Amino acid sequence: MQPEQPTTTGPESANAPIEPAPPVVRVVRRGRRPMTRLVRAVLVAFGVALAAIFAAAASINPYGPDGAAQTMSTHTQLGLPPCNFAEMAGKPCPSCGMTTSFALLVRGDVLNSLRANWVGTIICVVWAAALVWTFASGIRGRLVLIPPRPGAGETIFTAITGVIVVLMLARWGALLIWD
């Protein structure tokens, strides 16, 4: 047991060490800040650009004169030149058939879209989801379906892009080997 300490209230207490006050704990919410108007406008503009891509795909006729679905070269209907790689190498490039795939999928011809370029079909579906997402996020003022963790949106975007690039290259490699 320790002896009691005398309490001082006189001039000696002025020299006594002052204990620091306990730290103030503040609750910080980790939610998202509201989007700026510029970010919202960029999201909506990106959605408009995606809508223009789908409108271009809808304007292309992916069927030949005999009514059979084409597998590539429909991008020339947009005034673009033929694929230089395909003309020079005699083999398709990684994106050959992608425009045709989009044009077929926009018309609901899933099987022929997959035949033209199955990675293009996947990209078309991802872009359709992105179209809805950009408008929903831009209008609501927050990133819909993205966790509020820092960097979550960038991680998701990078993962999706990486998977699509790997699929494109795998499809292209298979075409070069077996075509």
Q: Quick one: CA torsion of 64, 67, 71, 76, rounded to 10 degrees?
A: 30
Tell me how many degrees the CA angle 76-79-82 measures, rounded to the nearest 5: 40
Are the C-beta atoms of 32 and 137 separated by less than 8 Å?
A: no
Walk along the chain (179 residues) and give the pLDDT tens digit of each residue. Answer: 565 665 555 555 566 677 787 777 776 555 556 789 999 999 999 999 999 999 999 999 999 999 999 999 999 999 999 999 999 999 999 999 999 999 999 999 999 999 999 999 999 999 999 999 999 999 999 999 999 888 999 999 999 999 999 999 999 999 999 87
> Residue 28 has what pLDDT?
55
